[in-house]
């Protein structure tokens, strides 16, 4: 009989990842019901963004690596939830919790896959490669796009100021995708003019 233990580990992780569908973010989807987006949807949409927009990366990137990063970057939220990007106090204490969550979740896999995916997750967090910088740029861009297309929804709900939006997003986006930042700056300026950012 074939040893199915490797397959069982992989399938157990797939089932565990289903929990990401119940982790709600602060941004609403662009639809008639306007419900909150979940982290699984966010990751899927970022992977599509990478496919469509990789020509705007600051440096040439390996697209498969970027897509993998974006699909796994938020799996830690299964254990620790989503931290609002403008909650600087929350993000400061989140790093260690997220690292432990990454070790637990990827540790469910066979050792070779655990090493690969944990390594990709750490690479995304460190932002020291072209792939991680581009992936992080997209991660910061998508919520801004949704906010803008939802009349400033989460910016207004949380009292986000224009200067905050610049401080939190400019360096991350411009480092990985300078042309995308040029466009997103016009989006922020428009949001300010419309009163969606204080």
Would 55 be classed as within a structural domain?
yes
Would 99 be classed as within a structural domain?
yes
**Mean pLDDT, all residues of the chain:** 95
Would 174 be classed as within a structural domain?
yes
Domain that holds residue 102: 5-193
pLDDT one-digit tens code per residue, 24-75: 999 999 887 889 999 999 999 999 999 999 999 999 999 999 999 999 999 9
Give the phi and the psi of residue 26 in degrees, each rounded to 5.
-90, -15
The reported pLDDT for the residue numbered 85 is 83
Would 41 be classed as within a structural domain?
yes
In this predicted model, which residue has the larger pLDDT, 181 or 33? 181
How many structural domains does the chain have?
1
The reported pLDDT for the residue numbered 186 is 98
Would 110 be classed as within a structural domain?
yes
Tokens 């993998």 locate to 68
pLDDT one-digit tens code per residue, 125-145: 999 999 999 999 999 999 999
- 26 near 158, Cβ under 8 Å? yes
CATH number at residue 95: 1.10.3210.10
pLDDT one-digit tens code per residue, 87-125: 777 777 888 999 999 999 999 999 999 999 999 999 999
For 186, the enclosing helix (H) or strand (E) is helix 178-193
Of 108, 130, 132, nearest to 120 by C-alpha is: 132
Length of the chain: 198
Would 198 be classed as within a structural domain?
no
The reported pLDDT for the residue numbered 88 is 74
Would 121 be classed as within a structural domain?
yes
The reported pLDDT for the residue numbered 147 is 93
In this prediction, residue 13 has a pLDDT band, given cuts at 50, 70 and 90, of: very high
Would 141 be classed as within a structural domain?
yes
């Amino acid at each position: 009989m074939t040893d199915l233990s490797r397959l069982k580990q992989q399938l157990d992780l797939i089932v565990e990842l289903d929990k990401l569908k119940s982790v709600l973010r602060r941004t609403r989807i662009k639809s008639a019901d306007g419900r909150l987006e979940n982290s699984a949807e966010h990751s899927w949409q970022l992977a599509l963004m990478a496919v469509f927009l990789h020509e705007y990366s600051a440096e040439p990137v390996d697209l498969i690596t970027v897509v993998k990063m974006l699909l796994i970057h938020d799996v830690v939220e299964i254990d620790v939830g989503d931290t609002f990007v403008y909650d600087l106090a929350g993000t400061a204490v989140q790093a260690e919790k997220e690292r432990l969550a990454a070790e637990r979740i990827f540790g469910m896999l066979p050792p070779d896959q655990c090493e690969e995916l944990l390594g990709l997750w750490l690479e995304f967090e460190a932002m020291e490669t072209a792939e991680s910088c581009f992936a992080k740029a997209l991660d910061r861009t998508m919520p801004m796009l949704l906010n803008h297309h939802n009349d400033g929804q989460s910016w207004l709900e949380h009292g986000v100021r224009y200067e905050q939006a610049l401080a939190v997003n400019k360096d991350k986006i411009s480092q990985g995708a300078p042309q995308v930042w040029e466009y997103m700056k016009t989006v922020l300026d428009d949001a300010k003019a419309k009163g969606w950012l204080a």
